[in-house]
Amino acid sequence: MVFDKFQDVELPAAFDAHVHLRDGAMSELVVPTIRQGGANTVYVMPNLVPPITTVQQALDYRARLQALEPNVEYLMSLYLHESITPDVIKEAKKAGITGVKSYPAGVTTNSSSGVVDYTLFYPIFAELEAQNMILNLHGESPSGSSITVLNAEAGFLPTLRELHARFPRLRIILEHCTTAAAISTVRALGPTVAGTITAHHLYITVDDWAGDPFCFCKPVAKTPEDRDALLRAAASGSPKFFLGTDSAPHAATAKRGGDRIAAGVFTQPYAAQLVGRREGREQGLEAERYV
């Protein structure tokens, strides 16, 4: 195949369905990299400190992001929390907020206010379903006696199945799938369940983050077989799988030092390039020649 003839191809801007843009000085650095990375629409995660749990907080946050880069569409989310009621969901719908993100308590960066018992939130899920809004799931079980970072996603899949069975019309996105099991589960569930795939999980495996804090994120990258399942899903064209980079910037000091390494891989400035290059290879193209 002759690649030179493709050199003038211009790709449309991407939708990145999972970004961490932070706030304050960090957001001033990160927000300008959205367009650089090839995206013009982003779904913004609410795990600020404190988390975004009210409609007003989400709208104020969006205004701060718009002031930094007006040429991006920011789809906003609320952080699933006990202070959120069905009335808040109705208000969120009216205000144009897209969905609600659920973090299991303690599994990742800024998740200390997260969910312990999903059944407590069934009225919220019912209202999200009624309002045709999205439930975004960080799909990991908290580490415990038999759960570690390696099987935390697999351990969460029964919860995903249960939520879909109870709320079959609720649009659920299993965020940042990292395992073949997650891919096959999303594929097997009904059309209201989809999964996002990050750019970095198309490349890295356990060996990369074991020893390199800059490859450490939650959920952690798994085996080469899992990575290949992600690649096949990403390149399959199935509408059930789409890009959500989970680009998650941290201060270099939080990645290199301290008692615990912060979880998160920052890919925003290279998001579309990374995905194009990897999917191209999966399809047998030497797509790196474009990058």
Ligand X SMILES: NC(=O)N[C@@H](CC(=O)O)C(=O)O
State the catalytic residues: 18, 20, 101, 138, 176, 246
Q: Count CB-CB contacts under 10 A for residue 34.
A: 27
Query: Using the rule CB under 6 A, is 245 a contact of ligand X?
Result: no
Closer to ligand X by CB, 59 or 149: give it. 149
Q: What angle do CA 37, 40, 41 make, to 5 degrees?
A: 115
Smallest gap from Cβ 288 to ligand X, in A, equals: 26
Query: Using the rule CB under 6 A, is 173 a contact of ligand X?
Result: no
| Cis peptide bond prior to 219, omega within 30° of 0 | yes
d(CA 52, CA 146): 32
Question: Cβ(233)–Cβ(197) under 8 Å?
Answer: yes
Q: Count CB-CB contacts under 10 A for residue 215.
A: 19
Query: Using the rule CB under 6 A, is 264 a contact of ligand X?
Result: yes
Q: Count CB-CB contacts under 10 A for residue 143.
A: 15
**3-state SS, residue 61:** helix
Closer to ligand X by CB, 19 or 287: give it. 19
Among 16, 17, 19, 20, contact with ligand X (rule: CB under 6 A): 20
State the burial class of residue 117 (Cβ atoms within 10 Å of its Cβ: 0-12, 13-18, 19+).
exposed
Closer to ligand X by CB, 21 or 186: give it. 21
Query: Using the rule CB under 6 A, is 268 a contact of ligand X?
Result: no
| Binders in 175-204 for ligand X, by CB under 6 A | none
Structure tokens at 177: 């799938």
Smallest gap from Cβ 183 to ligand X, in A, equals: 18
| Binders in 89-128 for ligand X, by CB under 6 A | 108-110
Among 14, 21, 38, 47, contact with ligand X (rule: CB under 6 A): 47
Closer to ligand X by CB, 244 or 276: give it. 244
Among 248, 271, 275, 287, contact with ligand X (rule: CB under 6 A): 248
Say how many CA atoms lie within 13 Å of 233 toward its Cβ: 32
Q: Site residues (CB under 6 A) for ligand X?
A: 20, 47, 108-110, 138, 217-218, 246, 248, 263-264
